[in-house]
Chain A
C-alpha cells in the first residue's frame, strides 16, 4: 500500500507492505535509526515517536495507520545544528549511560512537556511509565527533563 506522511518536516511517499510496523518503516525505509527497537512488544518505550505531537510506541502501530499524519523522531528535534533543550538536558545532567532508551525517553518527555510546563518530579516519573531504562536508575533522566522544562 502507498503511504504518504510528513517525517521530521519532510513529505515522504513510499510503497510498503500492509503489515510493516511504523518503527521498521522509520528505520529501514526512511533510514532514521535514532528510533530504537527494544522489546517489540509495547512495553519498553524505546520506539517512542511523536504522531501529530503525541507520544506513541511505533512498534505497536502500522506504517499504513500513520499515513496522512505528521511524525517527529529524535532526529527531528535539533534545529539549525542546535540541540533541543531536552537533548541538551540529557547531555548536561548525565541522563544516559548506554543510550538505548534515550530517544524514547526524550520523545515521551516531549509530549509530557507539551502538556505541562513545569511538571513535578512525580509527574515526570508518571509521564515516563511507559519507558524503561536498564542503566540509569531514572534519577538523572528526571533531572534532564527538569533541566529542559526550565528552558522551554
Chain B
C-alpha cells in the first residue's frame, strides 16, 4: 500500500513550516509523527500534493515548567509524555493517558499535537486535555493565539485550527493540593483506540467535600467533550459510592452517541457511565 505521489518538504522552524503552509495552502499537509496521516494517505483518504515535515523542528518537543505552567511542545512523542519525570510528578493524569495510546511503536512516533489536530473521535489525549483544562497554543501568519481545550474540538476530526495555522504547544496549570486525576478507557482490541475513554480531575476541600470536578469524555460522541452534568452533580458533595454513581449516571446526557461495528450507541453510553464512575473513584482516591 503506497500513499499517492506528493512533494516532500522538511521544515526546520515553525516560521518555515508556516511559510510553506502559506505557499501551498489547501494542497499541503503538515507531517508530524505520521501515525494517523500516513495510514490515511495509504487509503487515499488524504491526498495532499505537498507534505511539510515538521518532525525535525528542534525544541518543539520540549516538556518543561515555566511561569507556573507546565508546557508541552506539539512534537512531544506519546512515549516522552508517558515517561517524563516532570509529568509523572506534576501531571500524572496526562502521562497515564499517553501510556494508554496504541502500542510501543506508535507511542515512539506519534505526537501530542498530531493527535489533537487529527481529532479522531476515539483519540485518548482529548479527554485528558479537557479534564486538565489545557490551553492550546496555535501559531499562524498573524502570530500566536491561545484556545481553551473546550473551544478546540468542534466535530468529527474537526478542530478550531485554521488552515494556515499550526499547533505549537499545550500548557497546563499543575494540579493543586488534595487534587487527583485518572484516565480509564475501554480499548478497541485491534487498534487500541478508545471505544470510550474518561479523564477525571477531582479536588477536595479541607472537609473532604468535592471542590472541583472536571470530566473529559472521548469516544462517545463525534467530538470529545466536558461532561458538565457530571461535574455539577458532584461538586459540593462528599464523595461516596452513592454520590459518585449518581454523578456518573449523567455522563452521556444530551449527547448523540456514535454507533459503528465496534459498539452501538447504547453500549457506548453505558461504557461512558461505567468508566466515568471508575475514573471518578480513582481520582478521589488519589486526591485523598
CA–CA, A112 and B79, complex, Å = 12
Q: Which of chain B's residues have a CB closer than 8 A to the CB of A51?
A: 108
Are B79 and A54 within 8 A (Cβ)? yes
Are A130 and B106 within 8 A (Cβ)? yes
Q: Which of chain B's residues have a CB closer than 8 A to the CB of A43?
A: 190-191
Give the residue of B6, B109, B190 whose beta carbon is less than 8 angstroms from that of A19. B6
Asked if A136 is at the interface of the complex by the 8 Å CB criterion, the answer is no
- What does the 1/0 interface line of B3-23 toward A look like (CB < 8 Å)? 111111010000000000000
Q: How many contacts between A and B, using CB within 8 angstroms?
A: 80
CA–CA, A17 and B31, complex, Å = 17
User: Most chain-B Cβ atoms within 10 A of its Cβ — which of A41, A45, A57, A64?
Assistant: A57
Q: Which of chain A's residues have a CB closer than 8 A to the CB of B192?
A: 129
Question: Interface residue tally of chain B, by bracket?
Answer: 20 to 34
Q: Which of chain A's residues have a CB closer than 8 A to the CB of B55?
A: 65
Complex interface residues of chain B between 95 and 120 (CB less than 8 A to chain A): 102-106, 108-109
Known A-B contacts A19-B4, A40-B42; the reply to A61 vs B109 at CB < 8 A is: yes
CA–CA, A77 and B144, complex, Å = 46
Complex interface residues of chain A between 53 and 84 (CB less than 8 A to chain B): 54-57, 59-62, 64-65, 68
Asked if A26 is at the interface of the complex by the 8 Å CB criterion, the answer is no
Known A-B contacts A108-B105, A111-B104; the reply to A42 vs B35 at CB < 8 A is: yes
Distance to closest chain B CB from A64 (angstroms): 5
Q: Which of chain B's residues have a CB closer than 8 A to the CB of A59?
A: 1
What is the chain A residue whose CB lies nearest that of B77?
A54
Are B53 and A65 within 8 A (Cβ)? yes
Are A55 and B8 within 8 A (Cβ)? no
Are B103 and A18 within 8 A (Cβ)? no
Are A55 and B104 within 8 A (Cβ)? yes
Are B109 and A130 within 8 A (Cβ)? no
Q: Which of chain B's residues have a CB closer than 8 A to the CB of A6?
A: none
CA–CA, A62 and B108, complex, Å = 15
- What does the 1/0 interface line of A2-19 toward B look like (CB < 8 Å)? 000000000000000111
17 pairs across A/B with beta carbons < 8 Å? A17-B5, A19-B2, A19-B4, A19-B5, A21-B3, A40-B1, A48-B105, A55-B104, A57-B105, A57-B109, A60-B34, A61-B34, A62-B8, A65-B31, A129-B192, A130-B103, A130-B106
Give B contacts to A, CB under 8 Å.
1-8, 10, 31, 34-35, 38-39, 42, 51, 53, 55-56, 79, 102-106, 108-109, 190-192
